[in-house]
Structure 1
Amino acid sequence: MASKPESHQHHSSTQKPPSYDLDANSIKYEADIEQSEPTAANGVLEALGYEPELQRNRSTLQVAFMSFVLAAIPYGLATTFYYPLIGGGPVNIIWGWVIVSAIILCVGASLGEITSVYPTAGGVYYQSYMLSPPAYRRIVAWICGWSYVVGNIMITLAVNFGSAQFIIACVNVFEVSPGVGIFEAEAYQTFLLFLGITLLCNAVSALGNKWLPYLDTFAIFWTFVGILVVIVCVLAIAKEGRHSGEYVFTTFEPQSGWPVGWSFCVGLLQAAYATSSTGMVISMCEEVQDPSRQVPKAIVGTIILNFLAGLLFMIPLIFVLPDITELVNLASGQPVPTIVKSAVGTSTGAFLLLLPLCVLALICGIGCTTAVSRSLWAFARDGGIPWSNLWRVVDKRMNVPFNAMMLGMVIEIALGLIYFGSTTAFNAFSGVGVITLTVSYACPIAVSFMGGRKQIQNGNYNLGKLGAFCNVIALAWSALAVPLFCMPSYIPVTADTVNYAPVVFVCFAVIAMAWYWAWGKRKYDGPPSVDDAIIDLRNDGSS
């Protein structure tokens, strides 16, 4: 198990060192105004019991840009466009996005409050431990830690696998005959493309770590230019004509076979998947200059930006939407390339419009890969996964937890083999990712809310009564999302439409609990902490 270092003071001869008051009731950190933000943040990290091992090379805007890239709007919405189409069509797409975005804003605000008090790479796992009563904090942290790690891995797997399927669908806008694309990929070809994308994302994340903030910044401008080009071309050309505003905002045509209300809920997987990365950026806290302020702002600000970008992307597509029945029966499971081609009328034009989404898909995969490595590393640092000594090592040359990154990559590739057994594997990957990340986000929110939210009062992001309201909405959503995304998206259920998400979810749960009873119950102590620690990081930095 990872050793638990005592607090140390790292400062230069020209700076006044941070002062700490460590006792059983509080950790109070006072930062001199002459201190740099990274030095102050490292001091807080040391007070929490960890040695700083990663470089703090991200500003507020850069961490916000990474948060935006993790969601990868519009790519995340494009690859899952199938689900709201079968769930209810235009109403499900637009109003489902509005509803889920409002809910996720509550989730993000709740996580932002807690992160402003406990800004570590352990993220929600560390927060759950610190906020829980001593009697059961170990088991709560264990459940949250495994859920968070599995969620990061599964979302990254879904992103990379979805990228492979989406790229193939984009290539197939070129046809040898009507309805027959030039590259009707077999299962092994799809898997090999997924494998190549996964290897590329890991290579860039590992070897180009210091350049990743600039890549995220590029992605912002690339995304909005791409969206504007799609909007202008699709609406201006509209070869098949345009629907009325009434059709776009009021048409509800369920195709899933479920009762009307449940069909709408199943269609929310698109919005839930696209926003599931909300808390993944918390794992970057130890590479941010002032995480207690920057990360909460990045989480909430990005949700609002994603909401606007999503509407800008989806509404024009619905105005030129072809027949929904034909779209849901596409063999590729990727309607967006077909929608764009129908609107612009040419294969070349459609491919060029889709190209920005393909590039964004790769950038999203790189960001998610980075988040996976940090979450695995942080949990291994406290002995939460088998053979933690291997995964908690930071490669000093690349300044990344390389071993943890490779572990995540191997797990993703192994799970990708499910595709050979079922073409609905992507549904399982995205479903499990949403479920496990939802559980992990709910853990610290629940224990904070049940504990009277007293620790939140010491952070930089206390929303007061509004924060309590957000907590309630976030927990209600969690209670709905877990069973909802275990359901098949289409009935009657066949071998091709079965949802493997519950199977994968249960397998991970069994592994986690087996490891707890075999090892964790006796040896896992959780993160380093001071009993009932509360960190004072309010605006003036004073006691």
Structure 2
Amino acid sequence: MAANSEPYQHQHSEPKSHNFDNEKMKYETELGQSEPAAANGLLEALGYEPELTRNRSTLQVAFMSFVLASIPYGLATTFIYPLVGGGPVNIIWGWLIVSIIILCVALSLGEITSVYPTAGGVYYQSFMLSPPFCRRIIAWICGWSYVVGNVMITLAVNFGSAQFLIACVNVFEVSPGVGVFEATAYQTFLIFLAITLLCNSVSSMANRWLPYIDTFAIFWTFAGILAIIICTLVVAKNGRHNAEYVFGNFEPQSGWPVGWSFCVGLLQAAYTTSSTGMVISMCEEVQHPSKQVPKAIVGTVILNTLAGFLFLIPLIFVLPDSQELIALVSGQPVPTIMKSAIGNSAGAFLLLLPLIVLALICGIGCTTTVSRSIWAFARDGGIPYSSKWRRVNKSLDVPFNAMMLGMVVQIALGLIYFGSTTAFNAFSGVGVITLTVSYACPIAVSFIGGRKQIKNGEFDLGKLGAVCNVIALAWSVLAVPLFCMPSSIPVTAETVNYAPVVFVAFILIATVWYWVWGYQKYVGPPTVDDAVIDIRFSSE
């Protein structure tokens, strides 16, 4: 059935009427057998047929959430922003401030996910929480924002990995300041292409092993951080700064007023933590999602905060001249910092190796969530030709078609790099903006609606939850313009930020497409009657 020729219809497109006492008895019986059976029963009550294997425990989904942020790789590739914004103060205290804010976002999303644990994530939640008269358009905007955000972030991760790998290789030099591999645009693109193909191959062919890869990533990350801490601080070839410099030196070099310059420095932490809600797409592969996913989202933010400090503080103690780092053509200061601290290329490269491996694992995790987000949205008829993208490959146990669609889009967008590297860099900013908008949608409609549905979940934070909602929404209001502004002034052809142009274009296309196609053909997720299932009994 071609989705652009007739309205998409769910298997359960008509509202379902439930006898909730019978449903509760059914879930209690299933829970006595296994948690996956109880979770599948809840999913069926929400209107979906279980199609994916629930092969992740609480720790494994938490580890995957950690991998999506990939501390310290995420902080390494965006290190330039706080250097420009304000130096050490921006790096240390900016990380702490954003981590606290993102914890509020995580708590807010955790509350809602405990009520609506489906692969549709924030998109499904926005639909169910919104008033009937506007739920389709809100879900449409949220769904497209979530899908586009997942695709763009994955594109940014894989292309950033290619650029970071090149910068790491260039710690070996043929002459001072000249690396051994001054990659051209086509060479950079080919490395990106190889990384993208690798990530899609592993994500599709080794789905059953992904939880173990994520578990390995945790130990690999902290082993790498420990090596960086010991080696950089002990060797410190060019000396060490004192604690006053590390925790109190503020050097804004962006050209903006001091306050906004500090905000520019927050981009590092904001980029790194933008993946906070992506793991919600894995709800249908978790044994007890209404408990495990909220715990994983919140626990990962706390773990990320610790890992971030362990990585950042040693680097600032051995930080070379910040102006030289800002002037680097590669835009990647961390390899240069490592080489300065260790004093030789081989030692620096060995310390960077854990970050390179983590970058690849991050790409695999992001690729996995892209496929789930596209699949879940297509399952509800949100994407043209949905019948193709909502299929699950039973032998691989993954939505393979949706994964391939995401890969093709990323590779096609990667070709823009040949025309303008500046224009291409806008896509990473758009990824964060659209994910921020998608997270804000369910939080906003829940808060405006009085948070009534939250009491049906297992993660109700009461008044603290309301405070977290306000902080999360306030951050969304700040983050969108922040990612639309250039990071420094005066603006040149190399520093102009095309993110607002791309974001506005996306909004216009999504809106026009809704009225041209979606208004008549998009019906949204399957619904029950006006009640909300009380899922607290699933753990009783």
TM-score of the superposed pair, with normalisation by structure 1: 0.95
Structure 2 equivalent of residue 382 of structure 1: 380
Change (3 A) 1:490 1:121: same
What is the CA–CA distance in structure 2 between the aligned matches of 1:343 and 1:422, rounded to whole Å?
Answer: 34
* Residue number in structure 2 paired with 1:234: 232
Distance 2:18 2:100 in 1: 39
Name the residue aligned to 2:4. none
Aligned-partner residue type, residue 22 of structure 1: H
- Confirm whether residue 22 of structure 1 aligns to residue 27 of structure 2: no
- Separation (CA, whole Å) in 1 of partners of 2:193 and 2:423: 15
Q: 1:63 matched to which residue of 2? A: 61
Offset of residue 185 of structure 1: 0.8
Q: Match for residue 31 of structure 1?
A: 28
Whichever residue aligns with residue 124 of structure 2, its letter is Y
List aligned pairs for 1:344-363, cutoff 5 A.
344-363=342-361
The equivalent of 1:4 in structure 2 is 10
1:173 partnered with 2:171: yes
| Deviation, structure 1 residue 511 | 2.3
Deviation string for 1:463-509 (max 9, x for gaps)?
00000000000000001111110011121111111112112212222
| Structure-2 separation of matches of 1:316 and 1:521 | 54
- Quote the residue 2:101 is aligned against: 103
Q: Where in structure 2 are the equivalents of 1:189-268 lying within 5 Å?
A: 189-268=187-266
* Deviation for aligned residue 1:434: 1.0
CA contact (8 A) 1:25 1:531 kept: no
Equivalent residue, structure 1, for 2:533: 535
Query: 1:254-292: per-residue Cα shift (whole Å, max 9, x none)?
Result: 111111111111111110111000000000000001000
CA distance in 2, matches of 1:488, 1:399: 43
Percent identity, please.
Answer: 79
Q: Is the 8 A contact 2:38 2:538 kept in 1?
A: no
- 1:475 paired with 2:481, answer no
Aligned partner (choices 488, 510, 513) of residue 511 of structure 2? 513
Query: Residues of 1 paired with 2:54 and 2:8: CA distance?
Result: 22
Q: What is the correspondence of 1:283-432 to structure 2 with a 5 Å cutoff?
A: 283-425=281-423, 427-432=425-430
Taking structure 1 as reference, are residues 531 and 540 closer, same or farther at Cα in structure 2, changes over 3 Å only?
A: closer
Q: Is the 8 A contact 1:209 1:399 kept in 2?
A: yes
Mapping for residues 425-444 of structure 1, pairs under 5 Å: 425=423, 427-444=425-442
Q: CA RMSD for the aligned pairs?
A: 1.7
Counterpart secondary structure, 1:22: coil
Distance 1:452 1:129, change over 3 A: same
Indicate the SS of the match to 1:176.
strand
Residues 35-88 of structure 1 show CA distances to partners (whole Å, capped at 9, x for unaligned) of 201100000000010011111111111100000000000000000001111011
Q: CA 1:490–1:241 in structure 2 vs 1: closer, same or farther (change >3 Å)?
A: same
Aligned to 2:125: 127
Match of 1:461 in 2: 459
Give the TM-score of the pair, scaled to structure 2: 0.96
Aligned pairs, number:
530
- 1:488 is aligned to 486
Amino acid at match of 2:10: K
After TM superposition, which residue ranges in structure 1, 4 or more long, deviate above 3 angstroms?
A: 23-30, 424-427, 539-542
Q: SS where residue 536 of structure 2 aligns? A: coil
**What residue number does 1:12 align with?**
none
Alignment-derived partner of residue 271 in structure 2: 273
Paired AA for residue 480 in structure 1: L
Unaligned runs of 5+ in 2: 1-6
Indicate if the aligned counterparts of 2:9 and 2:523 stay in contact, CA closer than 8 A.
no
Q: Provide, for residues 70-108 of structure 1, a one-character-per-residue CA deviation record: whole Å limited to 9, x for no partner.
A: 000000000000111101111111111000000000000
Per-residue CA deviations over 1:281-315 (Å, capped at 9, x if unaligned) read: 00000000100000000000000000000000000
